[in-house]
Amino acid sequence: MDQVLGQVLRNAVWERLDMLSDLAERADASSLVSVARSELPRLAEGWRAMLQAHEPDERGDCPTCSTRWHRCKAPCSVWQVAHEHLVAGGLAPQALAGNGEHRPARRRAAVPAVPGQNRRAESPAETTGRHALVKPRAVSA
């Protein structure tokens, strides 16, 4: 039962992130301002809560990532990813292969295509609960 609940929670988070990414790419300016005002404080608070759980202890170990048999020295992978995406990511964006544009790689959103945009038809597994059914895959643009 815990695995099922865990998968439901993970699926909901992935879908929310996909929706926010899609909004960032497709929404008009006034919608973006509205979303930014409501979502940015929530996302910042979520990062703070997660990073607080990974604050090093008095020995310099991450209490969340460490186990009885293996100590994980700070900064743990959570702090490294936070720094990469929140601080360094703005300085060194990843390049998309072949077209010279710079933007971070993202998962494909399970949302209807924009009218006139060429996209292949998605299978039912990709549009409903796909995170529970398949592993993320690279999508060529």
Q: What is the pLDDT of residues 67-125, one digit of tens each?
A: 999 999 999 999 999 999 999 876 654 543 344 444 444 444 444 444 444 444 444 44
Residue 109: name the closest of 100, 117, 98 by CA: 117
For 6-25, give the DSSP string.
HHHHHHHHHHHHHHHHHHHH
- Which are the contacts of 45, defined by CB distance < 8 A and separation ≥ 6? none
Look up the pTM and report it: 0.59
| Amino acid present at 59 | R
According to DSSP, residue 28 is labeled -
Q: What is the pLDDT of residues 32-77, one digit of tens each?
A: 999 999 999 999 999 999 999 999 999 999 999 999 999 999 999 9
Higher pLDDT residue, 29 or 92?
29
